[in-house]
């Protein structure tokens, strides 16, 4: 049963990603990106990582997309539809990307078998604290990963100040 869900979601992720890359209209691209992000969130639920899924939806499909839309409007509304939307090097780039994806796909498909065989009921580890994913994640973030967590918050602060400074009138 799970696998059908996976295929359906994967199809949505991939097709919306392809449409996003190939769409001439910037706003359409953003819409496809949202679909792709939401679908990835679905994958996370499938992987029993509810909290990460929630963050994915909130941050990506919520915040980042809004940011992109704002910039699109700020920068140039009239040029959202581009006739020449591809770079001169598009053909070699496309071929190279295809080859690269195939290679990596071949690589992981062949070498991940032993892990995929592990059927263990992961609940014990992934839901160690109070039987919840969010609680476990929170416990880890605030104990073992406290320092990186704080560093990340500082990073966000720095990014915020940097963004404000960059978008001021005079840079």
Site for another protein in 61-120 (CB under 8 A): 63-64, 67-68, 70-72, 74-76, 79, 82, 84-90, 92-94, 96-109, 112-113, 115-118, 120
Q: Which of residues 41-60 bind another protein (CB under 8 A)?
A: 43-44, 47-49, 51-52, 55-56, 59-60
Nearest to another protein of 120, 130 (CB atom): 120
Q: How far is the CB of 43 from another protein (least distance, A)?
A: 6
Nearest to another protein of 116, 130 (CB atom): 116
Beta carbons within 8 Å of 171's beta carbon, 6+ residues apart: 165
Q: How far is the CB of 80 from another protein (least distance, A)?
A: 9
CA–CA distance, 20 with 27 (Å, rounded to integer): 10
35 binds another protein (CB under 8 A): no
Instruction: Give burial (CB, 10 Å; 0-12/13-18/19+) of 39.
Output: buried
Nearest to another protein of 47, 131 (CB atom): 47
- Residue 169's alpha-carbon distances to 66, 70, 166, in angstroms, are 22, 17, 8
* Site size for another protein (CB under 8 A): 95
User: Are 53 and 45 a contacting pair, CB within 8 Å?
Assistant: yes
Q: How far is the CB of 108 from another protein (least distance, A)?
A: 4
CA–CA distance, 63 with 29 (Å, rounded to integer): 16
User: Are 23 and 29 a contacting pair, CB within 8 Å?
Assistant: yes
147 binds another protein (CB under 8 A): no
130 binds another protein (CB under 8 A): no
Q: How far is the CB of 58 from another protein (least distance, A)?
A: 9
User: Are 13 and 39 a contacting pair, CB within 8 Å?
Assistant: yes
143 three-class SS? coil
Among 8, 18, 77, 146, binds another protein (CB under 8 A): 18
């Amino acid at each position: 049963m799970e696998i059908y869900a996976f295929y359906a979601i994967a199809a949505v992720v991939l097709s919306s990603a392809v449409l996003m890359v190939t769409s001439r209209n910037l706003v359409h691209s953003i819409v496809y990106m949202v679909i792709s992000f939401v679908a990835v969130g679905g994958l996370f639920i499938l992987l029993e990582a509810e909290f990460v899924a929630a963050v994915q939806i909130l941050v990506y499909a919520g915040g980042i997309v809004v940011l992109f839309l704002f910039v699109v409007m700020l920068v140039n509304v009239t040029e959202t539809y581009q006739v020449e939307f591809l770079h001169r090097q598009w053909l070699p780039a496309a071929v190279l990307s295809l080859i690269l994806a195939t290679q990596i796909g071949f690589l992981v498909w062949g070498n991940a078998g032993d892990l995929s065989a592990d059927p263990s009921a992961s609940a014990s580890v992934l839901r160690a604290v109070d039987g919840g994913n969010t609680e476990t994640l929170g416990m880890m973030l605030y104990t073992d990963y406290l320092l990186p967590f704080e560093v990340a918050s500082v990073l966000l602060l720095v990014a915020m100040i940097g963004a404000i400074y960059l978008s001021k009138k005079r840079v």
